Amino acid sequence: MTLILGMVAAEAAGDRPMRVTGAVERFAPGEVSTSYSEVRLTLSPDGDTAVWFSRDRPGGAGGYDLWTSRRKAGRWSPPTPVPFNTSGRDFDPAFSADGRQLYFCSDRPGGAGGDDLYRVEVRGDAFGEVEWLGPAVNSAGKEFAPMLSPDGERLLFSSDRAGGAGRQDLYVAERRGAGFASAQSLPGGINTDADEFDATFLDDGTTIVFTRAGDLRRDRVDLFVAALDAAGTGYDAGHRLADGLNHPRYDSYAPMLDWSRPGHLLFSGQRDAAGGMDVFRVAYALPGEK
């Protein structure tokens, strides 16, 4: 069952790096999108495994837990917690493009401090050992929302580490062998004195959809899109996405490229006063695409 919430108002192409081309649909209502909060859902390349995190679903190891569901015969199984959750915060999952790894955040013991970035090997319906991504990407601050680029060569995430433009900023780390080189702030005007976090590459591997709020602890958060400049050296400051993806009153965040349908974007949003976060999916096009 798919619930269609309505079309997003059409946008002139202009200099916009992305336009919405379809209706915003609630993802698997009653099966995955429920009365609990579902945040940053990621889909395996075959579209049959979903992983997300919830702050309030009972039955997990801690307050923030990762949950998974598998689709068989067109139906999603009842959500179950992943086996590597801890009693702390485990959140922001993201499959790699080939589905062989799952990246996520956690404040489990053994990190550099705050929330750190981790990954785990995906072995069919099971998971391998959890691996800390090391000091090249982790800091004494808080790292959120890791996402590996479609070509597997760049790790995108946010951090409030010292030396940024202010609050959470977006960073990228180039792959080096099995690990990553030291993370660098995304160049250009994308990082500001506000919070920039929860980012995903789109299918071209450069355009970024991300979340911005003046202060994520107290202000409404919205989805933005940013592209590289003509020289390919830096990102613009970003455009707020249209109402329909964003809401004039409630939060919209946690975007994630749908690996099973790369022309689609997943995100989480609150849409009523009850306060729960559901998962939504929408089709998009990049410049030059119909």
Residue 1: pLDDT over 90 = no
Going along the chain from its start, the domains and CATH numbers come out as: 38-268 (2.120.10.30)
Could you report the per-residue pLDDT of 57-99, keeping only the tens digit for each?
999 999 899 999 999 999 999 999 999 999 999 999 999 999 9
Q: Are strands 222-226 and 195-201 parallel, antiparallel or unpaired?
A: unpaired
User: How many CB atoms are located within 10 Å of the residue 50 CB?
Assistant: 27
Q: What is the pLDDT of residues 129-175, one digit of tens each?
A: 999 999 999 999 999 999 999 999 999 999 999 988 888 999 999 99
Does 4 or 28 have the greater pLDDT score?
28
pTM, two decimals, is: 0.93
> Long-range pairs for 68-76 at CB < 8 Å and ≥24 separation?
69/28, 69/31, 69/32, 70/125, 71/47, 72/48, 75/31, 76/28, 76/31, 76/32, 76/50
- Residue 15's pLDDT is 55
Report d(CA 287, CA 259) in Å as an integer.
Answer: 20
> How far apart (Å, rounded) are the C-alpha atoms in residues 164 and 126?
37
